[in-house]
Structure 1
Amino acid sequence: MSESRLFPSGQDDSPEHSVKEHGRIVIVSGGTLGSWVLDRLQPGDTLVGADRGALFLVSRGLKPSVSLGDFDSVSPEEREMIRRHSETFIDCDPVMKDWTDTEMAFEWALERQPQEIVLFGALGTRFDHSLANVFLLRKALDRGIGCCIVDACNEIRLLGPGPSMTLRKGLYDHVSLLPLTLDVRGITLTGFQYPLTDASLSIGQSLGISNVITGETGEVRIGEGYLLVIQSKDG
């Protein structure tokens, strides 16, 4: 699937337009969704619907800036409703495509260079899709764009070497750290029940599961590798 087929040339893709218009892009995909999504939306969000995620938005009276995908998980009537209630509608062949619907939406968002990308409905019953969506966090990190995956009980971020990540306790009781590379070195935790200083974790270890922020905030810093930082609560 060529990029020109996915993103028509008529759209304004200039960096100046992108930074000005897109502070936070919210992608709603077709995984597990609920009323909690509406509570997490903010004024000024640019809404992107990926396949059945677009149906979730329009059926609740929201108008996506763009709805895209192969729309193989909605009926013809639902597809037409999505088309009518979206500012831009982009569909593609369900067989002859290289990206999942969520990755298509993610690439659309990356091109606009927002300050942050938030993914709702990126986790669900299909573990292969869920894991592939977690891997998308690396693309945003490499572009210097803040990104997280959110569902009713979790917020997932990716941390690389460099600036620390500050976490707020908020809705969540637990913070878990899982290596996304074979080894993560130089892990330092401040403000946690179980602090670490210049520690290492290897992929497959569960040592980083279920830590607790002791105050209002906690700080995570690493020196080498890539680390998934998951804030969670019990359902």
Structure 2
Amino acid sequence: MNAIIVTGGDIDISLLENYIAENKEDIIISVDAAITKLEKINLIPHIMVGDFDTLSDDDRLKKYAELDVEIVKHDPVKDFSDSELAVDRAVKVGIKNIAVFGALGKRFDHAFANILILQKYKKLGVDITIYDKYNKIYVKSNHFILERGKLWGKYISFFSLEEKNFMEKLEGVKYPIENRIIDNIATPSLYISNEIKGDKLKATFSGDLLVVESRD
């Protein structure tokens, strides 16, 4: 079972609509005022999560409750963001793969927290991918293969989530790597904007890496 979480940042509505159409069996979770974006594509979520401080519309919540949407309302004074609470709600019912839309946008504090959430849940065995029009962001552990035809855009970048990672080998790319350290302090931008040149990228490394596939 997979989930799609729609939260309050910037969203390309056509991208969201197409993704939902291609993943019709996924559970859809709306975070706080993101319900207004789902309404633009006439879509009713399965679950609504949040403190609803930016929605402030009891009539709307009542309407969705009458449509058998599960409403999970939290106190505005809390230790977790609405987005993290939505992820937690999905994980508690056994979901292991989550796509998130709207995790990036004007509020960098929220965007950065959402990036950190990826690693937290990766360590719990949950794969979360953040999508927007230009980026696909996720965490990989130890090794992976990526086919060129499945790349989100032209570029792929790597960042350590543990201050330093040892990259044993990165092949099939414009700038191959062998036996190098990915060090966010010494060389924070060294491993950005690589490109797949062969049929596929193959990476072998230690620990967790933040991977960003991007396009202009």
Deviation at 1:187, TM superposition (A): 4.0
User: Partner residue of 1:72?
Assistant: 53
- Where do 1:65-214 residues align within 5 Å? 65-76=46-57, 77-85=59-67, 87-95=69-77, 97-161=78-142, 163-170=143-150, 171-204=152-185, 205-214=188-197
Give the letter aligned to residue 219 of structure 1.
K
Which of 5, 19, 25 pairs up with 1:40? 19
TM-score (norm 1): 0.81
Deviations 1:48-93 (A, max 9, x none): 1111223322442212111010111124144444444562111122
Give the letter aligned to residue 231 of structure 1.
E
Deviation at 1:135, TM superposition (A): 0.6
User: Partner residue of 1:28?
Assistant: 6
Q: Matches of 1:71 and 1:110 in 2, distance apart?
A: 21
Q: Matches of 2:48 and 2:148 in 1, distance apart?
A: 32
Q: Matches of 1:167 and 1:108 in 2, distance apart?
A: 32
Identity %: 30
Q: Secondary structure at the match of 1:160?
A: strand
Q: Matches of 1:84 and 1:214 in 2, distance apart?
A: 53
Question: Could you tell me whether the CA contact under 8 Å between 2:167 and 2:177 is conserved in 1?
Answer: no
Question: Could you tell me whether the CA contact under 8 Å between 1:188 and 1:222 is conserved in 2?
Answer: yes
Q: Which moved more, 1:59-68 or 1:125-134?
A: 59-68
Question: Could you tell me whether the CA contact under 8 Å between 1:55 and 1:82 is conserved in 2?
Answer: no
Runs of 4+ in 1 over 6 A off after TM superposition: none
User: Partner residue of 1:7?
Assistant: none
User: Partner residue of 2:33?
Assistant: 52
Deviations 1:140-169 (A, max 9, x none): 2112222211111000111223x4243544
Q: Matches of 1:94 and 1:86 in 2, distance apart?
A: 24
Count how many residue pairs are aligned between Structure 1 and Structure 2: 209
Change (3 A) 1:119 1:55: same
TM-score (norm 2): 0.88
Root-mean-square deviation over aligned CA pairs: 1.9
Which of 204, 211, 216 pairs up with 1:229? 211
Q: Matches of 1:113 and 1:165 in 2, distance apart?
A: 26
Q: Matches of 1:167 and 1:145 in 2, distance apart?
A: 22
Question: Could you tell me whether the CA contact under 8 Å between 1:191 and 1:213 is conserved in 2?
Answer: yes
Question: Could you tell me whether the CA contact under 8 Å between 1:58 and 1:64 is conserved in 2?
Answer: no
Give the letter aligned to residue 210 of structure 1.
S
Question: Could you tell me whether the CA contact under 8 Å between 1:30 and 1:52 is conserved in 2?
Answer: yes
Q: Matches of 1:31 and 1:83 in 2, distance apart?
A: 24
In structure 2, the gaps of 5 or more residues are none
